[in-house]
Structure 1
Amino acid sequence: MSNVKNRKCIENICRKSMSANKRRNVILAIAIALTTVMLTTLFTIGGSIMKSVEESTMYQVGTSDHAGFKFLTQEQFDLLSQDSAVHDLSYNIIVGDILNEELYEEYTEAHYTTEACAKSGYSMPEVGSLPEKENEIATCTTVLDAFGLPHEIGQTIHLILNNGFSEYEGDFVVSGYWEKPTATLANQIYVSKDFQEKFSPAWKNGEEKAKFVEINSFAGSINTSFNFRSSYNISGQMDELKSRLGWGKEVNEGVNWAYASSSVDPTSVAIVLILLALIFASGYLIIYNIFYIAVSADIRYYGLLKSIGTTNRQLKKIIVRQAAVLSVIAIPAGMILGYITSVIVLPVISNSFLRVPCEISPSILVFAASAVFSWLVVRISCIKPCKVIKKISPVEAVRYSDYTGINLSGKKKTRKVTPVSMAWENLKRSRSKTAVVILSLALSIIMINVTVSIVSSFDSNRYVKMYADSDFTVSEGSMISKNYQFITYEGVSEQDIEALGKIDGVTESGSVYMSDRFQLLEGTAYDRAKKLYEDHTDWFVYEEAQKAEYDESIYDRHEVNSHIYGVDKMVFDKIEIDDGDLDWEKFSTGKYVIASAPLESGNGKDDASYAFYQIGETVKIQFPNGSEEEYEVMAIGDISFAMGPDHSHNLDVNFSIPTQEYLKQVPESQGAMKYFFNVEETKMESVEEAVSEYCDVTNPNLGHTSRITFLNDFKQMTDTFVLVGGVLSFILALIGILNFINLTITSINERQKELGIIRAIGMTQKQMNQMLVGEGALRICLTFAFVLTVGLLLNYVIVNLIAGQMVMFSYKFVIWPILVCIPVFLAISIAVPRLVISSRKMSGLK
């Protein structure tokens, strides 16, 4: 069979068909654009967050390279540099500790570095250059600020350096500086090669290394950074490299966890998949329904085309080409609007959830993915309408009426005919179109209810309790800020406690003291710990290096990490008990202790049955000064995380004793770890001002947090859910309403002849209006019937998938958003048919 050149003919038919249906094309273009808006927003925000989190993680790690080794000797470095699997090898050399008081609150390291290492470590001078002369240094603007110097090269900084064996004090000239990324934890001061060689020459071999390690100094050690050929399975490649080099656990290795696939959060994946499914479903429902209605309305037209020889393939081309023409206009418009939406929404999400700076990352891949997915939705939506045309013959097309399907067989029933009953029968004649509109509208209502359900299920008390168990918490500044070089756990003195306790409005207060120790396990306690470790090693060990540490701790030293707390009554009353009862009078005698149980992995709770010391048993506690004391276990429990040191150990045991007993056993204590106090509700703001002034002026070494801060964070987070859920719900509702409007208009237009006949045999204008309005109202009623049954089940599943793993989540059944939507959508269902009728000047509707 010869090919007929009919491309222009097809294009002409397509163009005239679109010209004859301008209203339908507008609705279809809006639907495609809205689908693209949602996809572009999802991909842009998702891609930007992934990139920002990856960059933030690299900043925290301190390099963009795949991996590296720390504290190497020159011999080890030379061996590493010869391995063919190592690429882009760079290094820095530790010079020593910086002793300047100006940098006490700013953790700063002193190194010599190669240019490549500085670049991969985000610390290459943006102004000036790396040091070349012996008395030159390069550093970040944070260090310049700490010394009160302007951001200019040529500034003089007086440094005090210690390499473990000797100290150097002198002036250095700034040869270059850069602005440190916010997420980077450590500041850097780079010295010249000449200075490094004189003050801290690189370790030549293991013997030199041992001398420095013995005094806990790493000055002169080489830190390397390098890449592999790919970022796939970096840990495995590191193990193979160490094996080739003959290195064991004595060599400190580091893998850049920014490349680890394990960083993908299952909850985030679930949210993305749910959003994709919603977008696909909503887009498909309206685009498919518009095409299906269009094909049904124009079926006689397509039948005539078939009768003159147009093939099914050509008719398919006509439909697909119309979709393509509209997509060429709508998809780019949707991408632009989606990008603008992303620019507005991303900062809100970033501030509420990520706590890392996020910037929009425009990408060709993002826009390409949005365009491809949008076209995929459009293309899939064309499949069934094309099949309808393919199956029907020219003769059937001329006789075709989509409003069929009433079964006239069986017994005839005599009943009163009303406009509402006629509306119901009309719906039954177009089941598929009605079902699609119902699903489209239901999606928006379900999404609104999901958003409100999530926000309602967030418990502000649970959220705040993670961070604060009192109205105010005061501690040494290093416990709040990550910038400090050292963390001090004894920073709140008796004078501070006395002064803060006198602030007007304080109703109750209490302190917690702490010593970070190792607890020697003996007898039954050791047997329990050993059995727990052997039965549940996977709870505590995540990599081989950890297993070696735990093996040594359990089998060789017979000890585990331990925190010894001295607690006041306020803290005592908030201890989280796993087993037993609390009695302050007995506890305050100093003869009793509350011992903790190890954390059960996967459960997230302390299990009293695993406790090394059970109620009624005697435990001997070793204190920092070497003294020992025996206590009876009153209960199994621990102070809350918010009242603790903000860190924990997996396999450990913590002890709580009265403050008076603690200070008796640890007389060298410099102060409390944290001081807590509650205040009168009406004086929260004035107390906040007083505490801020005390921490800023009277004792600048202190810092504080308040319940108000965390409540504001909680509100910001819930507002973000409302914003994102609200925008998505609005778009879904708009799509659903467009679908409803299109079906209503098309239905009335298709039945002009039928409505004219009905009017001619006696139906009044009022009855006709009631019938058409009844059709819309019944569609809305069916929509809410679906939402109140299947929708509520979907609501429960989606809400738990998105927020079920959050600590502050406690599911609450919510239905009021659905009830509120009922009158709104009923009003729309009544208004749309009336507006359509009033705008038509057809003989059958006059």
Structure 2
Amino acid sequence: MMKVNNKKTIRNLSFKSLKAAKMRNIMAIIAIALTTVLFTSLFTLGIGVVDGLQQSTMRQAGTSAHGVIKYIDDETYEIIKEHIGNYEIGESKILAERVNNEAFYKRHGEFWYHDENNIKWGFQEPAVGNIPIAENEIMTDTKTLDLLGVPHEIGAPIALELTVKGEEVIRDFILSGWWETDPGGMDVGILITSRAYVDAHSDELYYSYDVDRSMTGAINANLMFDNSMDIQGKLNKVIGDSGFQNTDEDGYNFIQSNINWSYLSSGASEMDITTTLILVVALLIIAFSGYLIIYNIFQISVLRDIRFYGLLKTIGTTGKQIKRIISQQALFLSVIGIPIGMIIGYLIGLEFVPKILSETSAAGFETVVKMNPLIFIGAGIFSLLTVWISTRKPGKIAASVSPIEAVKYSEVESINRKYKKSTNGGKTGKMAIANLGRNKKRTILVLISLSLSLVLLNSVFTLSRGMDMDKFLSTFSDTDFLIGHAEYFNSYFYRGEDSVADEGLIKDIESQEGFLEGGKLYNPGTVESFTVEDANADSGYNIGADNNPWASVYGLDDLPLGRFEVLEGEVNIDKLKSGKYIIYAISTDDNKIPQMQYAHFGVGDKVVLHNEKYIDEFKEDTEYTTNEYEVIATVKEKFYTASDRFGSEYTFYLPSEVYLPLTYNKAIMTYAYNVKDGYEDEMEDFINNATEKIYPTMHYESKNTHLGEFEGTRTMFLSIGGILSFIVGFIGILNFINAMLTSIITRRREFAMLQSIGMTNIQIRNMLCIEGLYYALGTMVLSLILGVLTSIFILKPMLGSMWFMSYKFVITPIIVSWPFLVVFAVAVPIIALKAFMKDSIVDRMREAE
């Protein structure tokens, strides 16, 4: 067969045909742009949120380094340094157990030496001044300077009160530089001094971690690899090459290590199944929605120009060339629509990424969405793929139709039917339902497209309604207010007698008009105060002088004692006060599910506690006491509201009346209380003012604090889900409009014939309106069925796996949308009929001749 170079001719035909259909072009560009908007928004949100979370978690973790080898001595550090190859290593050494300045009661302070690598990776490069060099030089962040009352001036004096190896010392420094406090980073005052200081105080910064677990004098070696792939494997290799191991804690040459949890890519192979499923479903929904609208637009175009394609066939144009004409048109429209969609989608992503991150652990971090090429590459590929798939069927129709068939093509599927005589077959309702059956595939696709947005909207509201405020708040605050020493809320250094809740503040609270009820929580502040007998204790668990595991024992007043979630047994306060019974708490995982594998006692078991009871305030004459109890109930551990926030496998609760005689240390850890309805804001103002001005070492948490976080998360769900539902719904409406337009265009001659035998314009209008109402009715039924199935079989188990969710069956959004659906179903055919039925009957009859 002779080849003819006719590509230029085909291209000219394609573009001239394109110019002749301006309205089609506009609609196609809008459809392609909308599809690209969805893809680009999804990629921008996905990449932006992952990158933002990674950046914020790096700051919260305190470093961008890939991994860390912890608590090693100088000799080990030098060995590892020799075996890192082309990787980078940074040295950090903690120089004190505590920074005792009063300024750090509400903001934990740490005293470190960092080398230049760790300063860079820790986001601590000085914005003003220099890195410390001299023995007495120090640098820190601006918030720490403000808390210490130090002016932002190079050379300003700073006195630090330190605890070093158990000894309290005061050291004087001068400010060498500072960096701006990162609002999204760790809320910790990091103070960094020089190598000269470390060398000058080497006698007190000796390594003793292996003996007493003191981190003072121990080195943390941060490692930066060439990339973030397989961080654990690279970390293991460096440790192994250095002659150590990090797998067997009881084995020879063991050293601790871990990867930086901000590097999500290191766990990509274990990506959460739910996250993967959501991503795949979102891509499929967008692709399907885009396919429907682009397919319908090009189908309408082909049907309108079917005579044109038939005439091309008569002059020798092949089916392949006709397909190429349509493909070139789609490609040209994509060149316009895709960039527009990318710009709009990217701007939407820029707007919403910070809002999403503000409701996550990245809140407070200044988010900058990077111009990542993957966003545009991914969106472009998926959009082009959707356009290509969408134009294949219209291209096949145009390519396969013969010149004779072209003049009478009506898109009616050829089906062998059995005909019967009837007197009601010409009724408008019967004709309308028959018309829907002409192209069952298109009818089904339109119904699915319209139902999809309603099901999605209903799912968004189900998720929003499923957020259980009581569950969320009970985790962080099971009473209206919780007060304690500021160090308690730092969660690192509750120290018993040195960090007690102020009884003066408690009395002031109880004297307030809105006060309802309250209760104290006691704890000695040192786990060594109590031990518990357990023959099956883990050999690696910390044990006391009597070779029994240490236990965390709390004394609770009636209010906090009665607010536990009971797993087994009952919290009978009267029985507990008899002194014969005790409550055992079982820790929970991140989803608040009890970790029964770590439970050591059950209801009815005997618990034997030993404790040191000091006789005098100098703690010289020590009396050891032993008490036996029966476990009356097992409960979920209240980590945030009824513990020292360290966590323990041996956590017990006693009534205050039973607990207080056991120990000389009667430290009030916290005080929980409720207020009368309507007094929450008034009490919040009082306690905020009291802890700021009258009792500056005290701090508090309230339900209002966490309520704001809860409402913010729910708003995020609604806003993001609402926008996605709106866009998918808009595409569904466009698909419905296209379906009606296709129906009218392909049946213009048919309508003219019906009118020629007496059918009126009103009857045609009524028939199309009924057709639209059938679409609406079908959408109602399908969306109701899909909505119920999605809610019960997908959303219910998904919400059941989330600790702050409680499934509630929701179907209202679907039902509420039905009246609007009916209005569209009637309005669209009326408007479309007016637009396409302006020509006379004769002109429309001649159109196919």
Q: Taking structure 1 as the reference length, what is the TM-score of the superposition?
A: 0.89
**Cα displacement (A) at 1:425:** 0.9
What is residue 629 of structure 1 aligned with on the other side? 627
1:432-468 deviation line (CA, Å, top 9, x unaligned): 2222221211111111111122222222222221222
1:667-704 deviation line (CA, Å, top 9, x unaligned): 32222x22122222122222222222222222122222
- Unaligned residue ranges in structure 2 (runs of 5+): 614-623, 845-849
- The residue correspondences of 1:120-135 to structure 2 (distance < 5 A) are 120-135=121-136
Q: Find 1:445's aligned residue among 454, 477, 482.
A: 454
Q: Find 1:657's aligned residue among 654, 659, 674.
A: 654
Is 1:281 aligned to residue 288 of structure 2?
Answer: yes
Is 1:184 aligned to residue 186 of structure 2?
Answer: yes
What is residue 106 of structure 1 aligned with on the other side? 107
Give the SS at the match of 2:153.
coil
Q: Find 1:586's aligned residue among 568, 572, 575.
A: 575
Distance in 1 separating the partners of 2:278 and 2:83: 43
Q: Say if 1:478 and 1:488, in contact at 8 Å, map to a contact too.
A: no
Structure 1 residues 276 and 83, CA gap change in structure 2 (3 angstroms): same
More helix by share: 1
Q: Say if 2:587 and 2:636, in contact at 8 Å, map to a contact too.
A: no
1:415-437 deviation line (CA, Å, top 9, x unaligned): 35311111111111122222222
What is residue 826 of structure 2 aligned with on the other side? 830
**Cα displacement (A) at 1:560:** 4.6
Q: Say if 1:638 and 1:656, in contact at 8 Å, map to a contact too.
A: no
Paired AA for residue 580 in structure 1: G
Structure 1 residues 385 and 102, CA gap change in structure 2 (3 angstroms): same
Distance in 2 separating the partners of 1:696 and 1:215: 37
What is residue 600 of structure 2 aligned with on the other side? 612
Paired AA for residue 651 in structure 2: N
Give the SS at the match of 1:689.
helix
Structure 1 residues 632 and 93, CA gap change in structure 2 (3 angstroms): closer
Is 1:193 aligned to residue 191 of structure 2?
Answer: no
The answer to which of 441-450 and 800-809 deviates more is 800-809
Structure 1 residues 701 and 730, CA gap change in structure 2 (3 angstroms): same
Q: Find 1:675's aligned residue among 660, 671, 683.
A: 671
Give the SS at the match of 1:655.
strand
Is 1:261 aligned to residue 267 of structure 2?
Answer: yes
Give the SS at the match of 2:555.
strand
What is residue 756 of structure 2 aligned with on the other side? 760
Structure 1 residues 278 and 428, CA gap change in structure 2 (3 angstroms): same
Distance in 2 separating the partners of 1:324 and 1:557: 80
**Cα displacement (A) at 1:762:** 0.7
Paired AA for residue 226 in structure 1: L
Is 1:164 aligned to residue 165 of structure 2?
Answer: yes
Distance in 2 separating the partners of 1:785 and 1:744: 20
Is 1:492 aligned to residue 501 of structure 2?
Answer: yes
- The residue correspondences of 1:171-320 to structure 2 (distance < 5 A) are 171-181=172-182, 182-200=184-202, 209-210=207-208, 217-248=214-245, 249=249, 250-259=254-263, 260-261=266-267, 264-320=271-327
Once the two structures are aligned, what percentage of the paired residues are identical?
A: 33
Q: Find 1:741's aligned residue among 737, 740, 745.
A: 737
Distance in 1 separating the partners of 2:585 and 2:683: 34
What is residue 329 of structure 1 aligned with on the other side? 336
Structure 1 residues 421 and 314, CA gap change in structure 2 (3 angstroms): same
Q: Say if 1:504 and 1:687, in contact at 8 Å, map to a contact too.
A: no
Give the SS at the match of 1:209.
coil
Q: Say if 1:96 and 1:200, in contact at 8 Å, map to a contact too.
A: no
What is residue 542 of structure 1 aligned with on the other side? none
Distance in 1 separating the partners of 2:70 and 2:589: 33
Is 1:504 aligned to residue 502 of structure 2?
Answer: no
- The residue correspondences of 1:680-719 to structure 2 (distance < 5 A) are 680-719=676-715
Structure 1 residues 329 and 91, CA gap change in structure 2 (3 angstroms): same
Structure 1 residues 557 and 303, CA gap change in structure 2 (3 angstroms): farther
What is residue 577 of structure 1 aligned with on the other side? 566
**Cα displacement (A) at 1:605:** 2.7
1:105-129 deviation line (CA, Å, top 9, x unaligned): 3333333332222112211112221
1:722-767 deviation line (CA, Å, top 9, x unaligned): 1111111111111111111122223223322111110110112211
Structure 1 residues 96 and 646, CA gap change in structure 2 (3 angstroms): closer
1:597-646 deviation line (CA, Å, top 9, x unaligned): 46589991365x98534444432112354432222332233554443227
What is residue 617 of structure 2 aligned with on the other side? none
Q: Say if 1:469 and 1:642, in contact at 8 Å, map to a contact too.
A: no
Cα RMSD for the two superposed structures:
3.1
Q: Say if 1:406 and 1:428, in contact at 8 Å, map to a contact too.
A: no
What is residue 801 of structure 2 aligned with on the other side? 805
Give the SS at the match of 1:571.
helix
What is residue 543 of structure 1 aligned with on the other side? none
Distance in 1 separating the partners of 2:840 and 2:644: 78
Q: Find 1:517's aligned residue among 524, 527, 536.
A: 527
**Cα displacement (A) at 1:715:** 2.1
**Cα displacement (A) at 1:556:** 13
Is 1:841 aligned to residue 838 of structure 2?
Answer: yes
What is residue 479 of structure 1 aligned with on the other side? 488
Paired AA for residue 429 in structure 1: R
Q: Say if 2:485 and 2:502, in contact at 8 Å, map to a contact too.
A: no
Give the SS at the match of 1:526.
coil
What is residue 539 of structure 1 aligned with on the other side? none
What is residue 340 of structure 1 aligned with on the other side? 347
Give the SS at the match of 1:125.
coil
- The residue correspondences of 1:388-403 to structure 2 (distance < 5 A) are 388-403=397-412
Paired AA for residue 147 in structure 2: A
Q: Say if 1:164 and 1:215, in contact at 8 Å, map to a contact too.
A: no
**Cα displacement (A) at 1:649:** 4.3
What is residue 784 of structure 1 aligned with on the other side? 780
- The residue correspondences of 1:809-824 to structure 2 (distance < 5 A) are 809-824=805-820
Structure 1 residues 615 and 730, CA gap change in structure 2 (3 angstroms): closer
Give the SS at the match of 1:339.
helix
Q: Find 2:390's aligned residue among 375, 381, 388.
A: 381
Structure 1 residues 270 and 504, CA gap change in structure 2 (3 angstroms): farther
**Cα displacement (A) at 1:659:** 0.5
- The residue correspondences of 1:86-101 to structure 2 (distance < 5 A) are 87-97=87-97, 98-101=99-102
Structure 1 residues 337 and 150, CA gap change in structure 2 (3 angstroms): farther
Q: Say if 1:31 and 1:286, in contact at 8 Å, map to a contact too.
A: yes
Distance in 2 separating the partners of 1:178 and 1:364: 32
Distance in 2 separating the partners of 1:79 and 1:432: 71
Structure 1 residues 292 and 478, CA gap change in structure 2 (3 angstroms): farther
Q: Taking structure 2 as the reference length, what is the TM-score of the superposition?
A: 0.89
- Unaligned residue ranges in structure 1 (runs of 5+): 531-549
The answer to which of 47-56 and 14-23 deviates more is 14-23
**Cα displacement (A) at 1:811:** 1.9
Structure 1 residues 599 and 752, CA gap change in structure 2 (3 angstroms): closer
- The residue correspondences of 1:529-544 to structure 2 (distance < 5 A) are none
Distance in 2 separating the partners of 1:560 and 1:177: 45
Distance in 1 separating the partners of 2:202 and 2:403: 93
1:378-432 deviation line (CA, Å, top 9, x unaligned): 1121222223334444443344220344543254444353111111111111222
What is residue 643 of structure 1 aligned with on the other side? 641
Give the SS at the match of 2:358.
helix
Q: Say if 1:564 and 1:656, in contact at 8 Å, map to a contact too.
A: yes
The answer to which of 562-571 and 64-73 deviates more is 64-73
1:30-61 deviation line (CA, Å, top 9, x unaligned): 11111111111111121111112112222233
Distance in 2 separating the partners of 1:126 and 1:317: 60
Q: Find 2:356's aligned residue among 345, 349, 352.
A: 349
**Cα displacement (A) at 1:135:** 3.0
What is residue 430 of structure 1 aligned with on the other side? 439
Paired AA for residue 49 in structure 1: V
